[in-house]
Amino acid sequence: MFNDIGPLELVTLVLLAVLVFGPEKLPKMIQDVTRTIRKIREFSEGAKEDIRSELGPEFKDFEFEDLNPKTFIRKHLDNDELGLKEIRNGFDLKKEMAEVTDAVHGRESDTSASSSSGSASSGSSGSSTGTVDMTKKPEPDERPPFDADAT
């Protein structure tokens, strides 16, 4: 519960408690707080047992930690019944990003070379390679090249 409290912070909290409640009232306050925490734990355990008994024998292995969505999904997807690992491995994001980068810079990648050669024969771009050099500034009287994929 208090895994992230360091020794200096603990000493500071104790000193603050002594200053606020005083040395004569502090033991009584600690007893009251521990009694309240114990009652809350007993109440929550009783509520859990009531819920388990009401759910019946079908839910005897029900854990309340499963109500946390992260743990529920992690528990049910560890066995990988749906084949999600195969789907995840089927996407090659680096390859896709390389193709997009090549297209932006006007270079042809291995997979887009065959698809762009078909579009080059259709005459949709002005160059013979099927790509349009968007970095080249057009002449003042010349219209910029039309890119059918961009519209």
Q: What is the 3-state secondary structure (H, E, C) of 22-49?
A: CCCCHHHHHHHHHHHHHHHHHHHHHHHH
pLDDT in tens, 12-40: 988 998 899 888 998 999 999 999 999 99
- Mean per-residue pLDDT, 53-71: 79
Q: So what's the pLDDT on residue 101?
A: 87
Give the HSE-up count for residue 62: Cα atoms under 13 Å, Cβ half-sphere. 15
pLDDT in tens, 74-121: 777 666 555 666 776 677 778 888 888 888 888 765 554 444 444 444
Q: In this structure, what token pair is assigned to residue 40?
A: 């809350």
Q: Is the pLDDT of residue 67 over 70?
A: yes
Alpha-carbon gap, residue 3 to 73, rounded angstroms:
26
Alpha-carbon gap, residue 130 to 108, rounded angstroms:
9
Q: In this structure, what token pair is assigned to residue 9?
A: 């912070």
